[in-house]
Amino acid sequence: MYQFVTGPLAWLAFIIFFFGLVLRIVLYVRGLDWKLDRVTYSVNVSYGIKGAIRSIIFWIFPFGTRSMRKNPVFTVMVFVFHIGLLITPVFLLAHNVILEEKWGISFWTLPETVSDILTIAVIVSALFLILRRIALPEVRIITNAYDYLLMVISTAPFITGFLAYHQVSGYEFWLILHILSAEVMLVAIPFTKLSHMVLFFLSRGQLGMDYGIKRGGMKGYNLSW
């Protein structure tokens, strides 16, 4: 079982993840239409690029925008969640040991206490985001089962990984479940809302180009996000 989930299944998951995301990017860009979107993407290019970069940069740093400053707790939780989600798996010691064994490469690694804290942070912030969905009427009305499912998909690898690492009873079981849940997440990313992993940048970039080209950017005005 372990051989299978870490062998062919893992390859398959990574391939789907990678090519799926590439496909999403290609389809998105190909579906842009200067006339329908009313943005001259390929004419006023320098203004477009400037607008796109501004739009991404201001939103990628905590409190870079008015929207984030107005919602400080949410902002902190969302950034903790995403930082944990991205940093932990890549720089986890155990993952890099496996990489080293298999391919002879490894990244810089996090001290294990830090990755443990990050894992707990992901779980806690996820819990906060779920409770927020239930508590706030303006979020509740737009929340559906799909949103909770995505929360489960993206936090399951952390919960199972945490349990496996701490060697609770049934280590083998949690380990396999951890690997499987991570593979489910990888496969889910291109096909679900989790595709915002790349579409965030494209969508933000697009709106940035809109502002950078049509909505004031060419007047030399830098929109304050």
Residues 195-214 that bind another protein (CB under 8 A): 195-196, 199-200, 202-208, 210-211, 213-214
Q: Nearest distance from residue 68's CB to another protein, in Å?
A: 8
Q: Which of 3, 31, 73, 104 binds another protein (CB under 8 A)?
A: 31
Regarding 215 and contact with another protein (CB under 8 A), the answer is yes
Looking at the Cβ atoms of 161 and 212, the one nearer to another protein is 212
Residues 50-69 that bind another protein (CB under 8 A): 55, 59, 65-68
What tokens does 85 get? 């989600």
Of 41, 20, 21, 18, the C-alpha closest to 31 is: 41
CA distance 14 to 29: 23
What Cα–Cα distance (Å) separates residue 101 from each residue in 9, 106, 119, 133, 161? 18, 9, 24, 42, 19
CB 89 within 8 A of CB 13: no
Q: Nearest distance from residue 134's CB to another protein, in Å?
A: 12
Q: Which of 7, 127, 140, 171 binds another protein (CB under 8 A)?
A: 140
Regarding 70 and contact with another protein (CB under 8 A), the answer is yes
Residues 77-106 that bind another protein (CB under 8 A): 78
What Cα–Cα distance (Å) separates residue 33 from each residue in 27, 29, 44? 12, 9, 14
Looking at the Cβ atoms of 31 and 104, the one nearer to another protein is 31
Q: Which of 7, 111, 170, 216 binds another protein (CB under 8 A)?
A: 216
Q: Which of 6, 10, 40, 123 binds another protein (CB under 8 A)?
A: 40
CA 1, distance to chain mean position in Å, is: 29
CA distance 71 to 63: 9
